[in-house]
Amino acid sequence: MLNVLAPLLLLFNGLAAGVLFGTQLGGFPYLASLPADRYVHAHAFFGQRYDPAMPICLLGTVVLDAVLAVAADGAPERALFAVAGVLAAATALISLTKNAPVNRWMRTVDPEHVPADFQHTRDTWGAWNRRRSLLTIAALAANCAALGFLL
């Protein structure tokens, strides 16, 4: 079972972490440099590209971490899979409660008439995206460490 679940876990978690790492390296810095009207168009373009892949990757990570936290033989790997699962679940929670609502709202914004609080909303979205990126990367590190015990 482990020889099937572990690679799948690394695939899901690695894809999620890679996408979010990429947003920190280039995606959000680029978006943040744009004037408001161009930001609205670019955000809409990027925002629609990651559904449903990112939710599938995050939920897959949470589920597989839970399964492996129960199924693993040793205490260190069980603990690390559990920690990784909690970190991935926190990422999913942030995505659902902080980033997705802004993504939905952004699709309703008229680029020619952005709201007065637009910059604050953009900055807030970026801060929450940074947090979920760090959590997902930490989950990947915990999963890699757990798998290190199994090699």
Res. 35: pLDDT tops 90: yes
Confidence of residue 16 (pLDDT cuts 50, 70, 90): very high
* pLDDT the model gives residue 26: 93
Tokens of 90: 């926190």
Q: Give the integer Cα–Cα distance in Å for 53 and 38.
A: 25
Q: Which residue shows structure tokens 């008439």?
A: 113
Tokens of 24: 């920190």
Q: Exposed, middle or buried by CB within 10 Å (0-12, 13-18, 19+), for 44?
A: middle
Rounded CA Rg of the chain = 17
Amino acid present at 72: A
The predicted-structure confidence for 45-71, as pLDDT tens digits, reads as follows 887 788 889 999 999 999 999 999 999
The predicted-structure confidence for 68-109, as pLDDT tens digits, reads as follows 999 999 999 999 999 999 999 999 999 999 999 999 999 999
| Domain chopping of the chain, boundaries | 2-150
- What mean pLDDT do residues 25-44 have? 93
Model-level pTM greater than 0.75? yes
Mean residue pLDDT across the chain: 95
